[in-house]
Structure 1
Amino acid sequence: MSARGWFLFSLMGVVWGIPYLMIKVAVDAVSPPMVVFTRCALGAALLLPFAVRQGGLTRTVRTHWRPMLAFAVLEIMVPWLTLTDAERHLSSSTAGLLIAGTPIVGVALARFFGPVANAAERLNPRRVTGLTLGLAGVTVLTLPHLTGGDARSLGEVLLTVLGYATAPLIAARRLKDVPTLQLIAPCLTLAALAYAPAAAATWPGAVPSAHVLAALAGLGVICTAVAFVAFLELIKEAGPTRATVITYVNPAIAVAAGAVFLDEPLTPGVLAAFALILAGSVLATAAGARRRRTAPVERSAPQDNQANAHVESA
């Protein structure tokens, strides 16, 4: 993966490593539809003016509205509500552990729904090893912090995983020529409009506390507007399956933040998990080796004495 890809990967590990905590803080005071509406409305308000300024937004929506609608439903409208509602009963670490299964599901879906379009997306032993190590690292990291939850909450997180695994495939295969802002701004706007009635019906009777307002603002600005721009660029740079490997890094970021800002213990188990996650991420996102193959040379005339080399991705 390129230097730009690694930068986007690192950025996404941070900005999508903190939503679980913010959702947990917000959903204790406001309804799940209110959380989703606020997050989408803030993100749309920030990104839509830039998308309009690029020009051609209406034409883009008319041309690609079907895959854009599918992306909005699978990446935003369903997963954000199910995840937010699930965190009313599950701990954030439990949710993070379950969401970490997204790359595995993404690989399975990519293989099931058709041939892999990019050599970097092909499944090979090194990538399988990386995915396995990453999942093992997340398990080691979160297992001591797990709390129980009901079947409904676990099912909601499963729906979230399916959405998160499917949407990047749509973005990579059907929306790769759509500018990032012109994809995400209309999707966030649609989601905000869809959740506006439910948010209005469950509007809190009093102004939430400063902590809740800060969590909602962080979800909208950092974890939505900034994160989606970076994530879609990461998909274009590294491919959909490799991009979802950030879900291995996210729980590690949450624990690191707790150790730095809340003086939570950094145990040997946590350090071991970091090592597994790092190794798994490197292996799972590494590009396949390139192999140079030289075609046979046919000399039919004195002037035709140049060999043509054919380079093929492994």
Structure 2
Amino acid sequence: MSTYRNGGLFLLLSVLWGIAFMAIKAGLEFMPPVLFAAIRYDIAGIIMLGYAVAATEYWRPRTRTDWITVLVGATLVIAFYNAFLFIGEQGMTSGVAAIFVAMNPILATGFSWVFLPNERLTPVAAIGLGLGFVGVGFVASPNLSNLLGTDLIAPGFVLLAAVCVALGSVQVLRFESGISTEGMVAWSNALGAIILHIVSFGLPTESLAQAEFTTGALLAVVYLAIFASAIGYFIYFDLLDRLGAIEINLVSYAAPVFAATSGWVVLGETLSFLTIVGFIVIFAGFVLLKRDRFRNELPSLPQRFGQREGD
């Protein structure tokens, strides 16, 4: 085939994960946030478990370490991340939420310095970490006379979501688990859905009676469960093997473009100038954090993204 496979899949993954923020925002009109997230992963968990069974032999947790890894993923990467993201996105646009989540690679690097003994903090990397938080400040654009006011509640929830998924990703690396990545993600999806249902049931503000299963709600759930989660992870696994961690992290910075675009087209959302500046500053912080890897791998990026089908 004459099309460039890796570049096409990278673009597709960026589109799928970017539009997911718009789908979340649209679906929140019809369902309580945590219940909405739980239903998403009910479906995604079943699909991903089926995929794991078909794709790998070691798909089921067999050891204590396997179960710890799965529980960390289910709790931090799936349940807490999505609960905080869905709650927070009630008060912000799709594009802004995606930009906050783009802090994930920066936060993960920071957590790796704390929890992984081989990681070291250099002065330049510290500047990159600081730039990330400066960018968040631009995106949040708080009212300086009311720093503890309601205008920081939604950004706080979404930033907390990014903290959870970053911390969970680093914690998973601490355990030498034998379960396949597909199996770990599948079980994390399934168990994460159960945790989300428990949290939703315990919240006085949520109940199944509040959910409106309209066409719009069903479309949002189907998109998030099948396209953003199941198909998105299929592509993610494939690209992770072909491209590596640095290139995959770049999805976090491509997704906000499609989140903002789809939010504008479908929901009439806009981004402020300061939000765009903040996004650029966050990305600059990421580049500083990963400057050595970029320096080593940048020359090979066109070749890896441009591998033809069958290479």
TM-score by length of 2: 0.68
Relative to structure 1, is the Cα distance of residues 178 and 125 closer, same or farther in structure 2, using a 3 angstrom cutoff?
A: farther
Residue 97 of structure 1 is matched in structure 2 by 99
Relative to structure 1, is the Cα distance of residues 217 and 288 closer, same or farther in structure 2, using a 3 angstrom cutoff?
A: closer
Q: Report deviation, 1:215.
A: 0.8
Residue 166 of structure 2 is matched in structure 1 by 165
More helix by share: 2
Residue 244 of structure 2 is matched in structure 1 by 238
Q: Which has the higher contact order (CA 8 A, sep 6+)?
A: 2
The whole-number CA distance in structure 1 between the counterparts of 2:7 and 2:194 is: 34
Equivalent residues, number: 280
CA RMSD of aligned residues (A): 4.3
Does 1:253 pair with 2:252? Answer: no
Residue 40 of structure 2 is matched in structure 1 by 39
The answer as to whether partners of 1:132 and 1:280 remain within 8 angstroms in 2 is yes
The match for 1:77 among 66, 76, 79 is 79
Relative to structure 1, is the Cα distance of residues 178 and 288 closer, same or farther in structure 2, using a 3 angstrom cutoff?
A: farther
Moved more, 276-285 or 73-82: 276-285
Residue 184 of structure 1 is matched in structure 2 by 185
Relative to structure 1, is the Cα distance of residues 10 and 133 closer, same or farther in structure 2, using a 3 angstrom cutoff?
A: farther
The answer as to whether partners of 1:99 and 1:157 remain within 8 angstroms in 2 is yes
The answer as to whether partners of 1:142 and 1:251 remain within 8 angstroms in 2 is no
Q: Report deviation, 1:245.
A: 4.3
The answer as to whether partners of 2:14 and 2:258 remain within 8 angstroms in 1 is yes
Q: Secondary structure at the match of 1:82?
A: helix
The answer as to whether partners of 1:36 and 1:80 remain within 8 angstroms in 2 is yes
Residue 25 of structure 1 is matched in structure 2 by 26
Runs of 5+ unmatched residues, structure 2 = 142-148, 297-311
Relative to structure 1, is the Cα distance of residues 233 and 281 closer, same or farther in structure 2, using a 3 angstrom cutoff?
A: farther
Q: Secondary structure at the match of 1:16?
A: helix
The answer as to whether partners of 2:65 and 2:176 remain within 8 angstroms in 1 is no
The match for 2:68 among 66, 81, 106 is 66
The answer as to whether partners of 1:134 and 1:277 remain within 8 angstroms in 2 is yes
The answer as to whether partners of 1:67 and 1:174 remain within 8 angstroms in 2 is yes
Q: Secondary structure at the match of 1:28?
A: coil
Q: Secondary structure at the match of 2:208?
A: coil
Relative to structure 1, is the Cα distance of residues 205 and 59 closer, same or farther in structure 2, using a 3 angstrom cutoff?
A: closer
The whole-number CA distance in structure 2 between the counterparts of 1:126 and 1:246 is: 23
The whole-number CA distance in structure 1 between the counterparts of 2:88 and 2:276 is: 28
Relative to structure 1, is the Cα distance of residues 149 and 126 closer, same or farther in structure 2, using a 3 angstrom cutoff?
A: same
Q: Report deviation, 1:164.
A: 1.9
Identity percentage of aligned residues: 26
User: Which has more radius of gyration?
Assistant: 1
The whole-number CA distance in structure 2 between the counterparts of 1:284 and 1:180 is: 25
Relative to structure 1, is the Cα distance of residues 185 and 124 closer, same or farther in structure 2, using a 3 angstrom cutoff?
A: same
The answer as to whether partners of 1:141 and 1:252 remain within 8 angstroms in 2 is no
Deviations for 1:66-95, whole angstroms, at most 9, x for unmatched residues? 122112211111010011111222333332
Q: Secondary structure at the match of 2:30?
A: coil
Residue 300 of structure 1 is matched in structure 2 by none
The whole-number CA distance in structure 2 between the counterparts of 1:31 and 1:111 is: 37
The whole-number CA distance in structure 1 between the counterparts of 2:196 and 2:269 is: 37
For residue 24 of structure 1, what is the amino acid of its counterpart?
A: K
Relative to structure 1, is the Cα distance of residues 4 and 131 closer, same or farther in structure 2, using a 3 angstrom cutoff?
A: farther
TM-score by length of 1: 0.68
Relative to structure 1, is the Cα distance of residues 196 and 257 closer, same or farther in structure 2, using a 3 angstrom cutoff?
A: closer
Does 1:225 pair with 2:230? Answer: yes
Q: Secondary structure at the match of 2:230?
A: helix
The match for 1:211 among 212, 216, 237 is 216
Relative to structure 1, is the Cα distance of residues 115 and 215 closer, same or farther in structure 2, using a 3 angstrom cutoff?
A: same
The whole-number CA distance in structure 2 between the counterparts of 1:82 and 1:271 is: 23
Q: Secondary structure at the match of 2:91?
A: coil
Relative to structure 1, is the Cα distance of residues 129 and 259 closer, same or farther in structure 2, using a 3 angstrom cutoff?
A: farther
